[in-house]
Amino acid sequence: MEKRDVKNINESSNAGKIGLISATIICMNAMIGVGIFTTPAKLAVTVGPAGILTYLFSIVAVLFMALSLARLAKVFPQEGSFYNYAKQWGGHYMGLLAAASYVLGIIIALGLLTRIASQYFHQFIPAISVETFGLIIVGVIALLNIAGMRIMQTGQIILLSCTLFALFSIIALCFSNADYNNLIPFMPHGWTSILESVSAAVFSFLGFESATSLYSIVKNPEKNVSKAIVFSLLIVGLIYLAFIGSIILAIPQNTFTSSDMTISQAMIKAFGKSNLILNLTKLISVAILTAICGVLQSVMYSSASLTFSLFKNLDNKFANFIVKSRYGFGIIILTISLLTIFNFFNLKSMGLFFNLTSIFIMFAFIMAILALYFKDNSKKLKDKIIVYLGLITSTLIFVNAIIGFLKEII
């Protein structure tokens, strides 16, 4: 009788929740992003063919960080932000610092995506400068967000389709032009370059932090959330490895003359200007551009929402005005837009974008994961290993990003 009652309770608690396959798809959708299109030139210039090893390390690092965040969601099920996680061990001000650091990292990432989108627009209309396109893009997206226009589920499917079309088209085109001679020299900048460029590779996976939201919607979350994270990372990781590997095999290292060169420009330079190549690269460019603009709008909106929730935890007149004012959210959108434009115009190097994004976002991750180190009472060795590895990998990326930032400015 007791076993039957427990079974009934479990069935009741799982009612309306999603299974392992759906959870895996959600994780994949969060991770597969346009960030992957920003990294090939950076890796080609700074790492060479050994960039594939940079991605392998990044996959392992993201796995441990994502599992750590999933553990946070289990230990603190009522909490859902970097503010609340860091507050568990460091108090109110540490929570504010962690949340502000994460938001700032995302805003810097917005500047990077704006630069990439502007470069693609400039390819289609060379008469208009990259800088002018940047102003137009940020202005239009800010107005759309202030007007309350959000990308619905159908729009998200379209954006994901554009991303996947671009990914698999590039993979197919590059593998059809593969030349193993392009692997030599494999590590022209030394083994240290593999770790130094991790901040660029990890940028491709941003979104994995959504794993914390799965505990409340997945059946048997203690087992299925971890499985969903592992399965989704394996699938996305394999796609990304195929993508980077195909580019390394097909496009000679010296083709990428700068770290902000677009993939379309590199493919035309490497494969020639036949009608087939030109038309295909145009289609790919349109797909990438559509995906980037959609991500810019959704990320700007979500970062404004995070900032708005952060203001709710502040106790001063300005914060109270923002929270209570009907124009408060619009003011935040405009502020984020101005900061994005500032980053766009002042961060000229792709390395600065990648490293600064990693510095601020990894700091937020470290502050959050420390809540497990100080407040998690689990005696299981597996849980302790996850915490330690999550801290080690995020700290390693953080330190390498600081080193990379110092090299850029010096």
The answer to whether the predicted template modeling score (pTM) of the entire model surpasses 0.85 is: yes
Asked whether the predicted pLDDT for residue 277 surpasses 50, the reply is yes
Using a pLDDT cut of 90, give the percent of the chain over it: 54
The single-letter code of the amino acid at 181 is: N
Q: State the sign of the Cα–Cα–Cα–Cα dihedral 157, 160, 164, 170.
A: positive
Binned at pLDDT 50, 70 and 90, residue 283 comes out as very high
Total of domains in the chain: 1
Binned at pLDDT 50, 70 and 90, residue 12 comes out as very low
Q: Answer yes or no: is 2 within a domain.
A: no
What range does the domain containing 156 cover? 15-409
Q: Answer yes or no: is 9 within a domain.
A: no
Q: Answer yes or no: is 10 within a domain.
A: no
Q: Answer yes or no: is 182 within a domain.
A: yes
The CATH number that applies at residue 108 is 1.20.1740.10
Contact 233, 29 (CB under 8 A): no
Using a pLDDT cut of 70, give the percent of the chain over it: 94
**pLDDT at residue 372 in the model:** 92
Read off the tokens for 257: 């003359």
Residues 6+ apart with CB under 8 A from 377: none
Report, as an integer, the average pLDDT of 73-80.
71
**pLDDT at residue 5 in the model:** 44
Q: Answer yes or no: is 20 within a domain.
A: yes
Q: Answer yes or no: is 7 within a domain.
A: no
Pairwise CA distance, residues 254 & 241, whole Å: 21
**pLDDT at residue 14 in the model:** 55
Q: Answer yes or no: is 297 within a domain.
A: yes
Q: Answer yes or no: is 8 within a domain.
A: no
Pairwise CA distance, residues 105 & 350, whole Å: 14
Report, as an integer, the average pLDDT of 254-267.
89
Report, as an integer, the average pLDDT of 127-142.
95
